[in-house]
Structure formats: structure tokens, C-alpha cells
Amino acid sequence: MDLVPALEEPLRQPLKSVLGPATAKVMAEHLGLLTVGDLLHHYPRRYEERGQLTHLADLPMDEHVTVVAQVADARLHTFASAKAPRGKGQRLEVTITDGSGRLQLVFFGAGVHKPHKELLPGTRAMFAGKVSVFNRRLQLAHPAYELLRGDPEESVETWAGALIPIYPATAKLESWKIGKAIQTVLPTAREAVEPLPESLREGRGLVPLPEALLKIHRPQTKADIEDARSRLKWDEAFVLQVALARRRHADAQLPAVPRRPAPDGLLTAFDARLPFTLTDGQQRVSREIFDDLATDHPMHRLLQGEVGSGKTMVALRAMLAVVDAGGQAAMLAPTEVLAQQHHRSIVEMMGELAEGGMLGGAEQATKVVLLTGSMGAAARRHALLDLTTGEAGIVIGTHALIEDKVQFHDLGLVVVDEQHRFGVEQRDALRGKGKQPPHLLVMTATPIPRTVAMTVFGDLETSVLDQLPAGRSPIASHVVPAADKPHFLSRAWERVREEVENGHQAYVVCPRIGDEEDDPKKSAKKKSPEDEAEKRPPLAVLDVADQLTKGPLQGLRVEVLHGRMHPDDKDAVMRRFAAGETHVLVATTVIEVGVNVPNATAMVIMDADRFGVSQLHQLRGRVGRGSAPGLCLLVTEMPEASPARQRLGAVASTLDGFELSRIDLEQRREGDVLGQAQSGARTSLKVLAVIEDEEIIAEAREEATAVVAADPELSRLPALRTALDALLDEEREQYLEKG
């Protein structure tokens, strides 16, 4: 992160290679480690004490693990096989133990000789390999291993108490080989340059960076590890927050046209039409947005709110304010289904105010046009003309809005729906269509914990809508364990029938469409029965719809909806469902965002364990949108004790999206959640845990803001500038530029 010449030295150098060329190649290709500095910042995932054994009881399936354990027994078997028909085949089975559990290692053929000599009962070693199941028992096949022999000079106590760093490794490079490579370059850690301002480091009692690097790789005590981690967490949090603070500072310098709504214009006329009053939250967030729109630098605001909290209403009022002020507003939706849905609902909400230039249109009216990739040429030409002339004040579309041909008369506001589905380049291209940078409002229905918002969307101001509008109904959620209790699944289909009989409708969601080609390579491999149960393909829309029509939902009108249908067909299906002509819609996650059918009260999610927590929460938000209560049934075949079942239990137990997003984040690695915001970074988050280190992130943000306000170019902090350059290689710098 820091990187000075000694640390910038490539690991692969033709003349004086720091490491062997083969090791350097694997490190570059599989771990993304190119320089000495990268290697020093590849921190141990955890530490083993030689005196203590790893928990074999908690091994994850299908993962590459490193364990420290003792050989309990080793047996050599001979057997006959196609390759060794005379019973000359050899298999070595070694059982290792750590006090918490036992694990079988297996070696075949010529690979048995060395371990047969070395892995004698009582021997201790580190073993690395991929955990698999054979005959219902966990095993490692052909694991790599490193014997743990005490140095003759060392006392037993010192040897047993030493901390062994276990590094994030790959099948091609074991943890201990990475450890040896790091020991080779560790002396250069003394030359690491301090990115933190001295006053900050001393004020918070953090150890110097060279000391932190030495302690994290060669700790003598657990206190050493703590010291090192505290320091390195601050580095990560602070450098990232400085990058975001500089982004905010630069944005504040950009010019923008202030947009203040006319006193008796479109917005006033729209508010007068509303059949309900806005919630306190909607009014508060609208005020924040209107204050931003009135300034002469671009608004950059993230609006997050629960599914159904009325974000579209807030966004629409912001768009109307901009139209009132003589500008145009564009709303970018991630899918055609959603763009059409938004267009329909906005035109309905506005009534005659959306009929600008037409007979019967109100005096203050404007035009609301739709622009998607699948529109016919004539309709498209018409829409483009309305945008160029300024006739259309509001345009709603997919990424088709970004094409070069699309010209605006005066683009004043860009609203992006569901931020995480849009590439930054796309937002940037749309932004570039204004005469001056337009204001930007980003909406998401995926609740984002405060710290993630500070880390990922740290260059955006955040508004939160946390109350549901009056008249929204509660949603009851239940887990349906189809394998343990098949009669529960039958009952689920009865419940769907009951909802339909009461005049309501239902969704059935599946992970897959069902017309995909099977990969012959995958199906060629023979699998054990356990594997079959664990890894059967996810249930598919077309199969499930067929089974339901012929079976438990016979006689009901069932239709399918998925992403590979022609846009017109998708729209027709959605219209029939919205009109109540279809009883049950069997769909993929295309319905996840924005689909609004108040009469749909029940949802059955098949193979619910195959979806993420926030995705389940999003899907569930499609029911209970009217006055009747909603019901969401999460169907799974996973056993009761599995993490997947616990995750589903958590979703069923709360409707609080922020609580669920914390659970989600704790269960997944940060990298998944931070997604693209970390892409292009040489150092993604390694020691900083977004949920646990909330305080550090918040404090780092304050410190970073103060540092940047005092010295935006960081001219008085050259070492911090260097650290920033290392974090923000060009791709990352551009990413933030566009963000």
C-alpha cells in the first residue's frame, strides 16, 4: 500500500528474482501479488498454535483448508483395479486428529511411498487440501503436508507456543510456502513508508507501519497480532476514506445549474392531486433533496429505503421540481420490465400532468417518455425528438438512454434505480449528456448498513426512508422444510389456492429458467449419492410451472416470466398479471425489483437457500403491497442444522432490512458486498471488517475529511499521496472519478 522502491520490486525479475520464477508466476496469476509490497500486505488469515490443534469438527465442504493435527493411525491397503488388475493397487489411509474431531487423508498409487514413511502415528504436521466427502466421511485426498519438527535447540514450550501464520492460499501454493516467501522479503518491511500523518498515528497510539508488518507476519505473542491488526485496519480505513473525501471535495468544486421549483408549477399541481399525505420520512428526505438541487454544485445523494417505503414518489417529486425549473430529468432502470413498470406507474400518478402538448393535458403538464432497446424505430424516433426539443420533461429508460444518439435539451437530474445493477461507466455516460454536470440521485431498496454506505458510497450523501406508508400490510414469512416435512410443501400449495379463492394472486420464484443446455463435461463426472442430493440443479421455472399446472394448482391460470422472453411477451405477461387475469406467476428473479401488483399476496420461493439474504428480502417485498396481509414461504431441502437454514430462519424472523443486511454481511465476505467499489484496487479490504470496525471507519472518515479540507492536494503529506497512488491504480482512480 505504501510503496517505496524496495517494496515496489517485482517478485519476478529476470536477473535477481526475489522468489523462484514458478512461485512468482503462481503468486501473480492466482493471488494477484506482483511486488514485494503486495506480498508483505498478504496477511495471515489466522494463526495456529502448535500446542493447540485446529478444529477438525468445523471444516467447510469443498474449501481449501490448512489444518494442524496429529496422526492417529496409518494403514496401507492393496486392491485390484483396471490399472492394477493383480491386486497391486495401493491406497494409504491416514487418520488425523485434533481432539475435536478426526479426518481421513487418502493417498493412492505411487503417491503413497513418501507419506507411508513419514506420517507415522504421533507425528504432527500441517496438512492442506480440499475437503470432500466419501462414504459419508470428510476426507482430504492427496493433501500437501509439512511436518512440524521442533528445532533441537528449541525447548518444547517455545516450540508448542509459537504462532504459525496460516495464509489465504490456493491449490497451487500452500500456506506454508507463502509463509516461507514472506520470510524471505520480510527484512524490507523496515523500509515501508508511513501513510498516516504522524499526529494521527501518535494520537491514537498506533505502532509504526514497519513494526506492524513484522508483527503480523512473525508475532511472538497474541498482543503483537492485536497491535499489528489495529494499525493495519487504520491504514485501510484511512486511505480509502481519504480517496472518497477527495472525491467529495472535487465534486463540490464542479459547477451545476441550481434547480428551484416554481412556486405554483408542476410540483404544486402534482401534490394537490395526491390522494394521500406523504409520510414524515418522505417529507424530510424531499427537503434534503430540494436543498441539494438548489445549490450550484451537483447533488450526489444515495436514497435508500425499504421495499415499498415510497422511494419512487420521492424521486418523482424531485424530477418534477427540476422540470418546473426548466430542466429535464432522466430515470435509469436496470431492466426493461422495470422501466416499463416505472413509466406506467408515473404516468398513472401524474394523470393529465403527464400529457404535455396533448389535448386534455393540464396547463403545467409535461411529456413523460419511455426509451428502451426493444422499441420500434418510429416510436424511438419520436421519443428522441421529444428529448432533443425539450418537449419531454421526464424520460424513463434502460441503458438505451446512454447511447450516443440520445441528446437532451437540458438534462438537470439523473435518477438511478438500483445502483448495484449499473456499471459506473453507464452512470458517467449519462451524466456527460448535461450541458453542466446534472444532479444525481441514486436509489436502492437493498438496505445498506451505515458503515458499508460510508465505505462503498462514501462519495454520496445518504438519505434513509425507514417508515412504510400507511395502508401497507405486514408480511408473514415461514420456512418450509420440504425434505424433512414434505406435507408442509403440500400445505404451501393449498395456501396459494386459498389466496386465489379469496380473489388474490401469487408468485412462485425459482432460481433458474430451465431451458439451459446441460454442460456435457459436468454431467460426465460420476457423483456420490450425497453429492447428488447436495448438488442437484436448482429448480427451474419451466419445470415447476409444468408440475404445478398438472398437479397442485390444476385449474388455476398459471403463467411464466423470465429474462430470456421477448420484451413484448414479458410486458404482456406482466400486464395480464397486473390486471388480475393470471392467478399465479412462476418467475425468476426478474420480479425482484420494482414490480408492483397490490393484489398479489402470496409468494413461494423454491430452493430459497440458493438466494442471498438481501435478495430474499427484496423478493418478499413484492407481496403485501395492498391492504391484504402478505405471505412468503421459503421452501428448502437443506437440513435443519445447516448454515443455509439458519440464514432462512433469520429472513423469516424479521422484516427489518437493515438488520438482515448486517446478518448478510456477517455471513458473506466483505469483498462480495463491497463488490465493484473495490474493483481495480491493489489492496481490497484485508483486515478491516466493515461491520465490526464501524467505529474505526466513522473516525477515519472524520480524520480524512479534515485532512482533505486542509490540504486537498496532500502536498504536505507525500507519503499519504504515495499510499493513495498505490491503492488507486489508474483503473480505480477512474472508477472513483466516474462514481
H or E element that contains 550: helix 541-550
For the entire predicted model, the pTM comes to: 0.65
pLDDT band for position 494 (cuts 50, 70, 90): very high
Nearest of 143, 166, 129, 178 to residue 26 by alpha carbon: 178
3-class SS of residue 10 = strand
Kindly tell me if the per-residue pLDDT of 164 is higher than 70: yes
Using alpha carbons, select from 54, 58, 50, 49 the residue that is nearest to residue 67.
Answer: 54
Question: Which of 25-34, 194-203, 463-472 shows the lowest mean pLDDT across its residues?
Answer: 463-472
Query: If you write DSSP's letter for every residue of 347-407 in order, what string do you get?
Result: HHHHGGGGBTTSTT--TT--EEEEE-TTS-HHHHHHHHHHHHHT-EEEEEESGGGGSTT--
Q: What is the pLDDT of residues 385-438, one digit of tens each?
A: 999 999 999 999 987 787 778 889 999 999 988 655 555 566 667 677 878 889
Bridge partners (DSSP) listed for residue 728: 681
The reported pLDDT for the residue numbered 724 is 82
| Residue 244: pLDDT over 70 | yes
Residues β-bridged to residue 630: 475
Q: Which three cell numbers stand for residue 394?
A: 421526464
Cβ-based neighbours of 177, under 8 Å, separated by 6 or more: 23
Mean pLDDT of the chain: 80
Residue bearing cell 492393496 = 78
Q: Would you say 102 and 72 are in contact if contact means Cβ atoms under 8 Å apart?
A: yes
Furthest-apart CA pair in the chain: how many Å? 97
Per DSSP, the residues of 312-362 read HHHHHHHHHHHHHTT-EEEEE-SSHHHHHHHHHHHHHHHGGGGBTTSTT--
Copy the grid coordinates of residue 335.
Answer: 431492466
Q: What are phi and psi of 477, to 5 degrees?
A: -120, 140
CA distance 474 to 365: 36
* CA 668/CA 452 separation, integer angstroms: 13
Cβ 343 vs Cβ 333: under 8 Å: no
CA dihedral 348, 334, 416, 608 (to 10 degrees): 100
Strands 144-147 and 124-134: antiparallel
pLDDT band at 675; cut points 50, 70, 90: very low
Q: What is the torsion angle, in degrees rounded to the nearest 10, for the CA atoms of residue 293, residue 294, residue 296 and residue 301?
A: -30
Q: Is the pLDDT of residue 522 over 60?
A: no
**Could you tell me what percent of the chain has a pLDDT over 90?**
29
| Share in percent of the chain as helix, strand, coil (round to 5) | 45, 20, 35
Comparing C-alpha atoms, which of 97, 113, 94, 115 is closest to residue 105? Answer: 94
Distance CA 506, CA 508 (A): 7
Structure confidence at residue 7 as a pLDDT band (50, 70, 90): low
pLDDT above 70 for 625? yes
All three cell numbers of 738, joined, read: 466516474
> Is residue 570's pLDDT more than 80?
yes
3-state secondary structure 148-163: CCCCCCCCHHHHHHCE
Mean pLDDT, rounded, for 709-728: 84
Locate the DSSP E strands across 620-704.
Answer: 630-636
Distance CA 139, CA 93 (A): 10
The helix/strand/coil state of 391 is coil
Vertex 667: Cα angle to 664 and 670 (nearest 5): 80
pLDDT one-digit tens code per residue, 321-352: 999 999 999 998 888 888 888 898 899 889 88
- 16, pLDDT greater than 50: no
* Bridge partners for 695 per DSSP: none
Categorize the per-residue pLDDT at 136 as very low, low, confident or very high, splitting at 50, 70 and 90. confident
Cell numbers at residue 156, please? Answer: 518444547
Give backbone dihedrals phi and psi of 473, rounded to 5 degrees, phi first. Answer: -100, 155
For 683-706, how does the pLDDT look when each residue is reduced to its tens digit (9 = 90+)? 356 777 776 787 888 899 999 999
Among 88-92, 219-223, 551-555, 607-611, the minimum mean pLDDT is found in 88-92
Looking at residue 193, what is its pLDDT? 83
More confident residue, 288 or 157: 288
Determine what percent of the chain is predicted with pLDDT higher than 70: 80
In this prediction, residue 738 has a pLDDT band, given cuts at 50, 70 and 90, of: very low
| Closest of 340, 657, 288 to residue 468, by C-alpha | 657
What is the structure's pLDDT at 207? 95
Per-residue pLDDT tens for 97-131? 887 788 899 998 888 888 999 999 988 888 877 78
Query: Mean of the pLDDT values across residues 298-304?
Result: 88
- By DSSP bridging, strand 124-134 and strand 137-141 are antiparallel
Residue 580 corresponds to which cell in the numbers above? 388480475
Would you state the cell numbers that stand for residue 9, as one nine-digit string?
Answer: 520490486
Cell of 679: 474493483
Cell numbers for 166, please give them. Answer: 496460516
The better pLDDT of the pair 31, 737 is held by: 31
Q: What is the pLDDT of residue 267?
A: 93
> What is the helix (H) or strand (E) element at residue 146, kind and residue range?
strand 144-147
The predicted structure's pLDDT at residue 55: 67
- Provide the pLDDT for residue 20: 77
What's the pLDDT at 581? 94
CA atoms of 561 and 578, how far apart (whole Å)? 13
Q: What is the mean pLDDT of residues 301-315?
A: 83
CA dist., res. 600 & res. 627, Å (int): 11
Neighbours of 403 (CB within 10 A): 12
How far, in Å, CA of 297 to CA of 320, rounded? Answer: 19
Tell me how far CA of residue 286 lies from CA of 296, 325, 446, in angstroms: 18, 16, 20
What pLDDT is attached to residue 684?
Answer: 55
User: Given this model, what pLDDT does residue 703 score?
Assistant: 93
